[in-house]
Amino acid sequence: MAAGFLAGLLLLRSFAFATSLSDLQSGISGDVLAGGPVHSLNVSSCPGYTLTNLKESASGITARLSLAGDACNAFGQDIANLTLEVTYDTQTRLHVNIFDTAQSQFTIPSSVVEVAGPDGGAHKDTSDLVFNHESSPFAFWITRRSEPDAPPLFDTRASSLPPTPIPPVVENDNSTALDGFPLVFEDQYLQLTSALPFDANIYGLGEAVASAGFRRDVGADGGVGTIQTLWARDAADPIDGNMYGSHPFYLEHRYNATTRRSQSHGVFHFSAAGSDVLLLTPPSSPVSLVQYRLIGGTLDFYFFSGPSSQEVVEQYGALIGLPTWQPAWGFGFHLCRWGYHDINETREQVENMRAAGIPLEVMWNDIDLYHAVRDFTTDPVTFPGEEVRAFIQNLTANHQHYIPIVDAAVAKQVNATDVYDPYTRGVELDTWVKNPDGSEYVGQVWPGYTVFPDWFANNTLELWTEALRNWSAGGVEFSGLWLDMNEISSFCNGSCGTTANLTNTTQPFLLPGDPGNLVTEYPEGYNATISGPSGNITVNGTLTYGAGQVANVSTLLKRGLGEAAAKGVNLNDPPYALHNGNGPLWVSTLATNATHAGGFVELDVHNMWGMMEEKTTHLALQALYPTKRPFIIARSTFPSAGKWTGHWLGDNFSKWQYIHFNIQGVLQFQLFQIPFVGADTCGFNNNTDEELCNRWMQLSAFMPFYRNHNERGALSQEPYRWDSVANASRTAIGIRYSLLPYWYTLFANASMHGTPPVRALFFEFPDEPELFAVDTQYLVGRDILVTPVLTPNVSTVDGIFPGQGRVTWRDWYTHEVVNATPSAPTTLSAPLGHINVHIRDGSALLLHAQPAYTINETRSGPYSLLVSQAADGYAFGTAYVDDGETIPPTPNRTLTIHAQRGEVRVQSQGDYDVTQKLAAVTVLGAAQTKPDRVLVQGSAASSWEFDEGLQRLVVSDLELNLNQPVTISWT
């Protein structure tokens, strides 16, 4: 549910922000502190640092870094004395930490994010990552021990970077003028620059809706470059602007054209500081570059050696923490909208979905549920507590689930006669964020004037647990929770309600769907003057999308750059102005001088607020339901959030461009170790249409988190609304539910090892450059290739089949081998209602043989096995099985499937009793001619058939115990 789409209305006046390093606006004061130095606003005179007092050990080095000349005070006050600590944490992870020796700069407390330390080994002489340095001026570079002559993985030497000064690299953005590349370490500005290979393959640095795609634009070969601002912001999925989450991690994939081999590595900056990360290629430069510009904190870097992309992601997960275990029911289909007015309308959706035969696992409610839009309440008229309880208990009886929204802001009590326990209890426990003078910080969100939980306070977990317990006892017997607006969002600037009339609960804008703000636009591409008022996909047999014009997918642009309005520095307006889409950092969020327990200020901890809420909520749910896996979906995320929550991609738009962005977003969050992620299917903002919703319901069936959700006042988009969407949804969900053992195993591997469940094509085929920029297709695990339709008015789709002709891909539906063009797109039939799915050879998948209406019913039915043999007969797969609900360690069983010519074997190991039987086995590529006989556990099979054209053997009518070894053979 959105506030970001109202951003323009929420600004009390127009703001813009700084545009230049070399020629910044005159409106910023030169004072860091009273009587402090004047800021030069230019780093060209910054002297860098000199390394002394070097001490080496078997695990790394330490040294002193001293300012090498006169302070430049570019955007703050230079810090003269720094400490360098280099630690070879593991064989594959190198830690380079540059911090102020006095340790006055903010660093992330281990109580907030606990990263793994060294493994205790002496890796300095054996690690594949090598730290190299120059002493004066200090610079460092990271190389591979296995390739000492190859270009460094990270290189801060000025000699490796292009000569400066460099005029603005990005047109109309003077801040991309590069005055120099010294190491800058000031109290309010830090800068570090590394050379990259020209046109490097960079992935990550988010959260972002990047116009360039999953592969980030580094400004080469016609690109303009990237300025990735890390400052959490409630903004409706802006293109190329900062948004909900902050993840300063990237993966680089390097291809050696001589050897035709690739390797990947990762770089993580462990900091919560607001920052700009620039990916640029100056004109005529032989190299690209990455530059970090921070407004606080330290330079705390981790490097991961890979060398495969999957290993890089796993190594990152080993540092920040692996993803939380998801309950099995979470993989079902979820339905929500902002605008279900009452419990009856909510119940009606459940009934209509069942009547249409479209599986519905989880029903959600948005803020319509609340009384006076207050957290932890139900409206006594439209959502009476006992009726909500009865509704949820009926869902439970049918093996379905319920999730309500929890907004980040808590209503402030209006007067002495107002009864709102969550607020008063928070006062008693001293859990609200404060102003610098110790008074309550009061913002404005949906219920009017609000306060905000301080996750650093000692008693906030107690408050949160108690509020959730009371809410559930009052009728909202939730199975999971939805955390929204936690960037954190506020509709006013500063502590706006401190002296205000608290009885005024009106919004400073009209909500969508209210008179005066109706969502009346036709769906994208529909021209009513040509096609009439129906809005249908076809009129008189003619497609209506783009009728009368050249189809043009619209683009939302980020706000323009301008001049910072505020003077002074301190906490509210640091001298270096980030490229924040809202202008000053305090617009539409907490003021940057808001204070937290322990003396922390919002400027330093802003990017972590959402993650800290997710952690607290997860721990609260564990306290309330000790044996059950917490299920949380949240919006604002930060490194380690995956330990506590899943994520949805925010308030997207019902536009074809955003169905494409759906893929990019999911691939990003696989890198960030938040793999349980998905988009609002069919779009949240604006009106969707039948064709878009049809295609999107199919795509999302092959994404981890699968929810249809849209805004108040827009056209209803539940999948039963159109026959074609209903049909497509039933088919796609049926496939999804049959694949649940595969999905579940992928996520078990994510939680145990950090292995990403959804993968870009190059993850599995790293040496094929034609795949490096592909984000219109993706892999589920290693074995399932998804090629969705992402454009309107088409009945075919082009897709590339990885493997350069060495891999056999078979159609999911027909089992036919694809006659694909190696290393080039192949055109596939894709009529409306059909999504192309292909199976990789060498795969062995455990499936649910009888997909049913709910996950519980589906899991209660028999299993089947689908084996797609390679040319030599090889196939392999695993399946992890447990009860799908309790928190590990819990009884579990792993099935290992091996195939060779003429045989499939299943090995079974574990202490979980699998009661469902294996009912059928399908082997693709089994033989060129019909076998003479088929044996099951050494005895003649009673029922089997062979299709010679497909080389498909199907053995059915089985009742095989999966707690024991299984053998199917044929000759």
Give the separation between CA 661 and CA 211, rounded to whole angstroms: 9
Catalytic site residue 487?
A: yes
CA 228 to chain centre: 15
Catalytic residue selected from 207, 366, 487, 604: 487
DSSP letter assigned to residue 510: P
Decide: residue 38, CB within 10 A, 0-12 exposed, 13-18 middle, 19+ buried.
exposed
Size (the chain), residues: 971
Give the separation between CA 706 and CA 780, rounded to whole angstroms: 14
Task: Look up residue 127 and give its two tokens.
Answer: 């690690």
Decide: residue 440, CB within 10 A, 0-12 exposed, 13-18 middle, 19+ buried.
middle
What contacts 111, CB < 8 A, 6 or more positions away? Answer: none
Decide: residue 537, CB within 10 A, 0-12 exposed, 13-18 middle, 19+ buried.
buried
Give the separation between CA 207 and CA 212, rounded to whole angstroms: 14
Contacts by 598-602, CB closer than 8 A, 24 or more apart: 598/456, 600/106, 600/456, 601/571, 602/433, 602/571
One-letter amino acid identity for 425? R
> H-type helices in 441-505, by residue range?
460-473
Catalytic residue selected from 466, 651, 680, 689: 651
- Name the nearest CA neighbour of 68 among 134, 133, 136: 136
The CA-atom distances, in angstroms, between 447 and each of 310, 379, 444, 668 are 44, 13, 8, 33
Give the separation between CA 196 and CA 223, rounded to whole angstroms: 15
Give the separation between CA 218 and CA 196, rounded to whole angstroms: 9
Give the separation between CA 693 and CA 684, rounded to whole angstroms: 11
State the chain's maximal CA–CA distance in angstroms.
Answer: 94
CB 895 within 8 A of CB 962: yes
How many other CB atoms sit within 10 Å of the CB of residue 931? 16
Catalytic residue selected from 484, 614, 689, 711: 484
How many other CB atoms sit within 10 Å of the CB of residue 914? 18
Range list of β-strands (E), 389-485 = 401-407, 410-411, 443-445, 448-451, 481-484
One-letter amino acid identity for 871? A
- Name the nearest CA neighbour of 366 among 133, 709, 727, 644: 709
What is the C-alpha radius of gyration for the chain, rounded to an integer number of angstroms? Answer: 28
C-alpha angle with apex 935: 931 to 941, nearest 5 degrees? 95
Residues 884-909, buried b or exposed e (16+ Cβ, 10 A)? bebeeeeebbbbebebeebebebebe
Give the separation between CA 519 and CA 654, rounded to whole angstroms: 12
CB 6 within 8 A of CB 27: no
C-alpha angle with apex 795: 789 to 799, nearest 5 degrees? 45
Tell me which H or E stretch contains 667.
helix 656-671
Cα dihedral 708, 711, 713, 717 in deg (nearest 10):
-10
Task: Look up residue 316 and give its two tokens.
Answer: 């990152």
One-letter amino acid identity for 293? R
Angle between helices 656-671 and 690-700 (to 10 degrees): 20
CA 554 to chain centre: 24
Task: Look up residue 472 and give its two tokens.
Answer: 């559930």
Residues with a catalytic annotation lie at 484, 487, 651
